[in-house]
Chains A and B, each alone.
Chain A
Amino acid sequence: MGQPVELILLKQVAGYLATPMFLVDPAGNLLYYNEPAEELLGRRYEETGQMPLEEWGTIFSPTDSLGRPMPPEDLPLARALNGRRPSVGSFFIRGLDGVSRHLSVTAVPLEGAGGTNLGALAIFWALPRR
């Protein structure tokens, strides 16, 4: 099944930008993250491939500022996807390269013409370690 052209174009834009981006489908399945995101997540997208929300929501071991594990549904991307509104948050992850990073994430739902749910897009920003 081919991807909607909106996601195809978004992937192409993301491929050109130095801003880390992470793209999921309406069911929350990871579709793509770009090279700048690969640096934060510690692994190339070609090595992880597509994965469901339950997997990407835990594989990077997200924790809050007190070090408590965050459930996948509390991540900004999952909130944007499920709530159909933008969501912002910051948390810590452990990349698949073993490096811990502090991230700010802005996630937006993607809506096509006629209200089609196309999934959601997250933009990452690496924050300095405290």
Chain B
Amino acid sequence: MNVVLRGVRGSLPSPRPETARYGGNTSCLEVRAVPRCVTVLDAGTGIRAVDGKASELERVDVLLTHLHMDHILGLGFFRPLYQPDLEVHLWGPPSATQSLHARLTRYLSPPLFPVRLRDLPCRLELHDAPRGRFDLPGLAVTADLVCHPGPTLGYRLEGEGGGVLAYLSDHEPALGTGSVTGPPAWTSGYDLARGADVLIHDAQFTDEEYPSHIGWGHSSVSHALAFAELTGVRCLVPFHHDPDHEDQALDAIYATVGRGRSFAVTPAQEGAELTIGG
């Protein structure tokens, strides 16, 4: 499968010269596993760059981890939604009380947004993502709830041709314990990430920042590294960079953290492309 990182910033779009290299758009990944189909992970502002020549597409699946604004801010501007008769599926976390449609229309309706979901011309289907495995074109997807305020999913994507991508964009596995040392069965997100070729994981805070942000639902860089170690992944892509972390700061944070580890560490950069599996 081919993956393009379209938005890697956490919390708030942060476009300015000082963030231009890592990128200022919020969470979005474009995944291509089979021709004429695209799977999009999260609908942050990076979704505008998804290569969505809608006329060439037969099916689009958008997998939302959760409905915090930085993950849905680009949804209303996603071109395939305006392509008549294009098959578009929106998947999101289940709620104990409200359907995905009801929750999304809080944003995608006036006065916050001029277009209502029901007025979109595409063939739109909304799904509560099942906890467990389901199939998309060319991909076996596993979704499960992970530790973050409000219902939040992590995803594991396995390509038909091999290769595993784990995506835990907003995740605080150290909540309550202060560390990510296991045991695995009691570590949020473990099964999703275990043995993945590439783990794209929340690393919003520095170790110095984390103590004043406990419970915000995000990881420190050290926690992301420990989670990657525990789950035995081949490559960690630290993601969801803090809006205040400019390019120079991120360069400094990641200059040495990958040394001597059993896995590669490649901090997420907008526009980066990954080929995973065959």
Give A contacts to B, CB under 8 Å. 1-6, 8-9, 11-13, 15-16, 112-114, 116
Contact = CB atoms under 8 A, between A and B. Distances in A.
Interface of B: 93-96, 128, 131, 144-147, 151, 175-177, 184-191
Given A5-B189, A15-B176, 6 more contacts: A1-B185, A3-B186, A5-B144, A8-B187, A11-B186, A12-B176
A8 B188 contact: yes
Contacts of B187: 2, 8
Contacts of B184: 2
Q: Is the interface of B mostly helix, strand, loop or mixed?
A: loop
A8 B94 contact: no
Contacts of A114: 94, 96, 128, 131
Q: Is the interface of A mostly helix, strand, loop or mixed?
A: helix
Nearest to A116: B131
A49 to B, nearest CB: 12
Given A13-B176, A112-B96, A8 B186 contact: yes
21 contacts: A1-B185, A2-B186, A2-B189, A2-B190, A3-B185, A5-B146, A8-B147, A8-B186, A8-B187, A8-B188, A11-B186, A12-B175, A13-B176, A15-B176, A112-B96, A112-B131, A113-B94, A113-B95, A113-B151, A114-B94, A114-B131
B127 to A, nearest CB: 12
